[in-house]
Structure 1
């Protein structure tokens, strides 16, 4: 016969008796498990996206892997040397090399190529070609595979080889790109005479003009000279410039390059495929690239490409930049992750503790009737696991559906930790509370509770940990994502604040209860007495959860505020105003442009300045001089917060010297005595009357401000301010001039995947912290709902009115809500104040930030006050709702609750 399971009737009975509590626990576990499983997947997802974008956005010539081998040596026969350069032999090496690329490196076949090229450009002797400084142009010749698939013929045809080309050929065909043809005045049918060949010269006939289909792809941009001519120079005094360009040969024409002074070489180019790369691949990628450049993988490549083959790439620099940025951001994200994990854990423990407190009488009765601790714990574990395990599994599944293409193990561990904590809290709490059977429960009123020695030791230990974590964070900063002591600093500060408030909570209750007892009404006294009669253990858990959640939300909101401030500041420093209009060469702006910009919708004020370079004390000493209209420009500097000064500082100059405002560096070099500076339009004598660190016209460098009356000529830069600027209208008014918008600069700082992903994590932290705070408050209020309803029914039979009953429940919930709100504001402010010196927000706020950029953590008023006020309002709303619900039922219904007669 099958063995009877005595736990099944218990579980079934409990679920039928308290279905609402089971559903609430399941929802809590599902949401928490979802967050625990989603967080590592979200972090890995944005880090992987950042890795792929870092490689894709980098210049192809710095990410492509290029393997080269010199032309075959003279120890081979001429036929063998020519065969080694033909497409069939090169393609065989390409296929073999592709199969030997070590994982996770993968090549994109569409953008990869192979062929033969001249390692050194060859001089063209034709006199009709452009010669900037009288130096003839030079050409790089490349017989590259896949030309037809990557270019569109705009004129003529592709180069072909009608008869086998051998070393010493006198004439071959080639094609050039549209840009090369336009720059060097070439067309289909043009001929070029190149020197440096065994036969003397080589005639190259241009058969076609090509338009690259993906000009920014690796095929064309890995060696940009094949696509776009470049001005090179000969090191001389002065430098002599000449054109460098590329000629695209037919692949079968490669043997014609043998023996030339162009040092021909074979090459195989592998464009990295980024579609399958993930963040955990980054360390392996660095190792594989190093091995390909000078390790075992290079030896395997030489087995197919020859013993002299070399592989080079700039991919390790791209990966290094990505790794450095991720390493700088990850510890800051770890602080947020640790905070929300601690809040979730505290709320789960609180939920289990409140459930144990609600069932205290039932469990005490079981112990009094001979129930063993093991049996009670097993049954509680069984009834909890039936609800928790499916909920945790659903949370994990939802996280996997929300974010795909991430590792399963971290998410599985996160959801398993949530399930373990949710399953174990109720049994452990019950075993600890009912170690010995008791006939009755001693009073444990919050207002009269005296903490024991064990609690004091635990609190002191937590205080020491909090002090150590704050000291470590301020000293070491967020340099290591695995430093748990540093990551736990905000949470530990919040926990210490919560424990302090729990100890202080009884004091105001005692102080307020005495005068309230002398009042004529009973509502005030009863509410304070009820708040003080709450069990200490039950009252401490909600306060602990609320303070931790509010502190985490305040810290996360402050981080987001600091990031936003840093980006706003960086965008302002890039423009100096809301919009900046300037000419590319620094020439004066037409007067019509100034009038048109003023008429653009949204423009409130336009300030014109003249920016030019001046010298002093010799040609080698230069300074940026800015001619401004004092009143208008002083107002702009004051509004922008960039070196505000009084307009009178620039006024009142005489023929001896013009007043000037300088940056600290310029003031140090020029001094305060009158100095003569030479501008392109003449000499000016200036005297520095004020020093400011920045100014809108030159927000990121040294400057010297003078009255525009001292500089002849019109403005070269327009600085416009206003709200709701119409971008298209402004660019139309600028008529092709350089336009820089503060809003666009600000948006560009928010597009980097690493920064955006980390910022989103902090946004979730704020939302989740506020949500858990609300949940903790609601759970604590709902736990006592039946008791409050019964109390209200008894008091109503004694003459308490409905309005008084609502006031009673509201005032009873108010002390805890006010304490949590005030404590949350204070703890959040103190956390930010203590931890600000150790939190580095530069890399999080500004993509590519190197040295300190001034992104500082500051307390954000909205993040501190909004959750706290919401806590108070919600507590009042729940209390009023409870009173309203209790008022719908008759007092006799509440008083006979549980009576089976």
Structure 2
């Protein structure tokens, strides 16, 4: 009976307020679900990028080098090779041990040996000892090598038995029993080997073979500056063969203990730890005694550095967008809870007037709010986990807890508002936009908010790109949005008051009444303005950074390639320019000549000279950035300027390939296509080299260029045997845009803008639905005076338009300016190959999306007005109205 007395009024209160309570519950559920799913999906995207960056060919290698008997005494047999592998594995830090597989040991001669004989292409053979291959191959012909070490081996090494891959033997024409003589440039005595067996991989798809391609088939390598290619293969011997070769003290060996990195084992957390522990492992290996000196070689360091650079930028820019989205969600929940509180305010005032204590009011108001929020938030959190969008984040739990806490805190504030007691607290006083006067306390809080936002920007810019996932980075845009929202709220009443006299002069009551209703929104009704402002700021920031990233990657691709296609060799026939222009799809061709090893008088340090017609190049390729004006066509890089150190005086440059010429730079250039960043080079006119000039590169412009035809032109124009290079800008651009992190950034920006817009629309709908009854009474009165249905629809638009336009305009401008305000935090260079991507105006798609959102909000106003339209005046007006 006692329990019924306590729960009866509480349940009746819940039944009477089921509509706002249901809205609050749905919003809490959706917000909690998004607070779990969005960070989890973002974290999964980070992990995918980490795994992709590491790739399938990453490994950690401990490499040592030793010669002759020093090598064979340190590593005399398979047991010693395996024991050292175990030692290196024990030294691995925990993070590296968790992501690497069992060690794979191998030994090989330091350099490939030349095969004696007359061939169309030079042939080389690497002799190796790789015990791990025995269980991964099948002998298809002959037998494995069996070398017996002679007791008294002289200076001449006996014939060594080896086996080679079947594909290599077929390509080279070798059979079982074939004898080969191998030469080393530094050792006059040759090595004699005999092929005793041919093998094939037991499982060609085994990842073991990926870094050992030469064990399965012939490969090629360039062996001189003229571009001569040699066919390289690998022959495997046994322990005896290794010992026989090591008897010659002049022959050196490379010992490799390879730890393969398991595919997909490196995630975001491990990437950070591995990058930090690689140096300690390198020091441990180098300081290990008991064996010849060894070092650690791995591509992990460079790859993880690239990933961590992208990660820091992504965490900064996405953190700002997601923090803004969280603030928008919190604002909508506060709006729903505030509207519920407004509905409860007369009841709470009546209860207070009848003697209820604040504790009793808190029990009913707080309990009702908790009933709508807590189960829904818990269900949303569980649903987010069940979605399995990615690894759950601790920040999600904090975000959900914060959302619930602010809603419950608002219900407590609603109760404290009734501490004065009596029915007068129930709403007899006006607290709308234009009538409410801010207290001194509110003025101080507003000023404090502005100061904190400005201080946050200053600190953020001082920390720069190193901020990464610092919460301050994410908080600053929200603080700026809140401060701007406060300023807009300050200016909003004055804008309405200024517009009033102008609208009174017009015919009809539509504009005047709509503006009056807009100005008489309660202080809770001001919350949609802040919500819409933050949502627009998130959308504007996302669109700006997204556009800057896309534009920066395009400019970076032009900076790397120099055109749509670049072809080159050590020297091209001058007729190649005309032939390239005749290729289908080509609209412009600009030749250039690159000369290496150019020096000035008394300056032994060499630089590179690039000869090109800059005016023609700018005209053909306006998209190439960073080309300063130079009346004489001469530019110098910072590196070359430091070498020449001539100041404003001209210098004479020359080399074995070009005649001396006078050089006086007109400007400095930081980057030029085909030149490495930071290299020492100068740019001069193409005619500098005289009438005997020939191009080494052709910069080609065109859409849908016939690349195969360009390759034929290059093959015909390049010297025989010279290396040929064909680089497509589309390939470079695809290499930058195909990175998983780039897709994640674009997708997150798009989703943040859409979700923020959805929350903004919900805020508009909540205000419209809650105010529909009062607006209906106003329209009913006006219809008595001749107000028609079309005007009532327009009244709904006029009523919401001031808040909507002020908030969206201010928020969009803030979003556009945020990349400039945050400065070095929005550093997109890790995504653009080091090229600086400056701010860029959002494209037409973003502007159309903003316009569509405004039109959707207007349509929502009309839909709500239509849904609550009651043509029967008797249902609205009371007796005496």
User: Which TM class, normalised by the smaller chain length?
Assistant: 0.7 to 0.9
Offset at 1:503?
A: 0.9
- 8 A contact 2:637–2:671 mirrored in 1: no
Give the alignment partner of residue 161 of structure 2, picking from 173, 176, 179: 173
Residue 476 of structure 1, aligned match among 437, 450, 463: 463
Change (3 A) 1:705 1:93: closer
Unaligned runs of 5+ in 2: 717-723
Aligned match of 1:777: 764
User: Whole-Å Cα distance in 1 between the matches of residues 390 and 519 of structure 2?
Assistant: 53
Query: By how many angstroms is 1:243 displaced?
Result: 10
- Is residue 113 of structure 2 the alignment partner of residue 113 of structure 1? no
Work out whether 1:396 is the aligned partner of 2:386.
Answer: no
Does residue 207 of structure 1 match 2:193?
A: no
Q: 1:474 and 1:258, CA in 2 relative to 1: closer, same or farther beyond 3 A? A: closer
Shift of 1:450: 0.8
Change in Cα spacing, 1:18 to 1:856, as seen in structure 2 (3 Å) is same
Work out whether residues 614 and 633 of structure 2, in 8 Å CA contact, stay in contact via their aligned partners in 1: no
The answer to whether the Cα contact below 8 Å between 1:481 and 1:487 also exists between their aligned partners in 2 is no
1:406 is aligned to 2:396: no
Partner Cα distance (1:629, 1:460) in 2: 55
Q: Is the 8 A contact 2:163 2:235 kept in 1?
A: yes
Matched, 1:437 2:414: no
Residues 435-478 of structure 1, C-alpha deviations (whole Å, 9 max, x = no match): 23232321123212210111111111101101101222233324
How many corresponding residue pairs? 848
Residue 178 of structure 2 corresponds to which residue in structure 1?
Answer: 190
Determine the C-alpha separation between the residues in 1 that align with 2:586 and 2:220.
43
Q: Distance in 2 between matches of 1:201 and 1:391?
A: 81
Pairwise CA distance, 1:564: 1.8
Q: Relative to structure 1, is the Cα distance of residues 396 and 739 closer, same or farther in structure 2, using a 3 angstrom cutoff? A: farther
CA distance in 2: counterparts of 1:461 and 1:380, whole angstroms: 31
Q: How far does residue 65 in structure 1 lie from its aligned partner after superposition?
A: 5.4
8 Å CA contact 2:168–2:218 kept in 1: the answer is yes
CA 1:750–1:896: 2 relative to 1, 3 Å? farther
Which residue does the alignment assign to 2:865? 883
State whether residues 180 and 229 of structure 1, in contact with CA within 8 Å, keep that contact through their aligned partners in structure 2.
no
Q: CA deviation at 1:369?
A: 3.0
CA shift digits 1:392-419 (9 cap, x unpaired): 3443344335445524544333333334
Equivalent residue of 1:276, what SS? Answer: coil
Return closer, same or farther for 1:183/1:487 CA change in 2, 3 Å cut-off.
same
Does residue 248 in structure 1 map to residue 236 in structure 2?
yes
Task: Write the distance in 1 (CA, Å) between the matches of 2:558 and 2:223.
Answer: 38
Q: Given the alignment of the two structures, is residue 573 of structure 1 paired with residue 573 of structure 2, yes or no?
A: no
Distance 1:525 1:875 in 2: 21
The 2-side partners of 1:716 and 1:288 are apart by 44
Q: 1:221 and 2:211 equivalent? A: yes
TM-score, normalised on structure 2? 0.80
1:323-362: per-residue Cα shift (whole Å, max 9, x none)? Answer: 4553455334433333322232223222222222233223
Question: Partners of 2:190 and 2:653 in 1: how far apart?
Answer: 56
Instruction: State which drifts further: 616-625 or 783-792.
Output: 616-625
> 1: CA distance between counterparts of 2:416 and 2:750?
38
1:894 offset after TM fit, Å? 3.3
Q: Any idea what SS the aligned residue of 2:588 has?
A: strand
- Under a length normalisation based on structure 1, what TM-score does the superposition of the two structures give? 0.78
Question: Taking structure 1 as reference, are residues 545 and 730 closer, same or farther at Cα in structure 2, changes over 3 Å only?
Answer: farther
Counterparts of 1:110 and 1:479 in 2: how far apart (Å)?
33
- 1:551 CA drift (Å): 1.7
Retained in 1: the 8 A contact 2:312–2:469? no
Cα distance in 2 for partners of 1:100, 1:687 equals 56
Change (3 A) 1:505 1:709: same
Contact map agreement 1:660 1:706 (CA 8 A) in 2:
no
The answer to whether the 8 Å contact 2:146/2:240 transfers is yes
In 2, Cα distance between equivalents of 1:325 and 1:378? 50
- Aligned-partner Cα distance in 2 for 1:8–1:841: 57
**1:430 Cα deviation (Å)?**
2.0
Deviations 1:347-402 (CA, angstroms, capped at 9, x unpaired): 32222222222332233223223333333333334333444344334433443354
Q: Which residue of 2 aligns with 1:816?
A: 803
In structure 1, what is the equivalent of residue 267 of structure 2? 278
Structure 1 runs not aligned, ≥5 long: 650-658
Report the CA distance between 1:90 and its aligned residue.
Answer: 6.4
The question of whether the paired residues in 1 share the 8 Å contact of 2:612 and 2:683 is answered with: no
Deviation at 1:509, TM superposition (A): 1.8
* Structure 2 Cα separation of the partners of residues 640 and 822 of structure 1: 34
For the 8 Å contact 1:806–1:884, the answer to whether it is kept is: yes
Mapped partners of 2:299, 2:675: distance in 1:
34
- Look up the SS of the partner of 2:377 in the other structure: helix
Aligned residue for 1:46? 45
Q: Hey, what does 1:653 align to over in structure 2?
A: none
Q: What SS class does the counterpart of residue 55 from structure 2 fall into?
A: helix
- Aligned residue for 1:435, secondary structure, equals coil
Out of 452-461 and 782-791, give the one that drifted further: 782-791
The alignment partner of 2:49 has SS state of helix
**d(CA) in 2 for partners of 1:23 and 1:594?**
74
Query: For residue 538 of structure 1, what is the aligned residue in structure 2?
Result: 524
Q: Distance in 2 between matches of 1:769 and 1:863?
A: 17
State the 1:832 CA deviation: 4.1
SS in 1 for 2:587: strand
In 2 relative to 1, CA 105–814 (structure 1 residues): closer, same or farther, beyond 3 Å?
same
- 2:342 counterpart of 1:357: yes
Match of 1:346 among 331, 347, 350: 331
Q: Secondary structure at the match of 2:685?
A: strand
The answer as to 2:787 corresponding to 1:761 is no
Classify the secondary structure of the residue corresponding to 2:776: helix
Distance 2:6 2:65 in 1: 73
Q: Distance between the aligned counterparts of 2:286 and 2:394, measured in 1?
A: 30
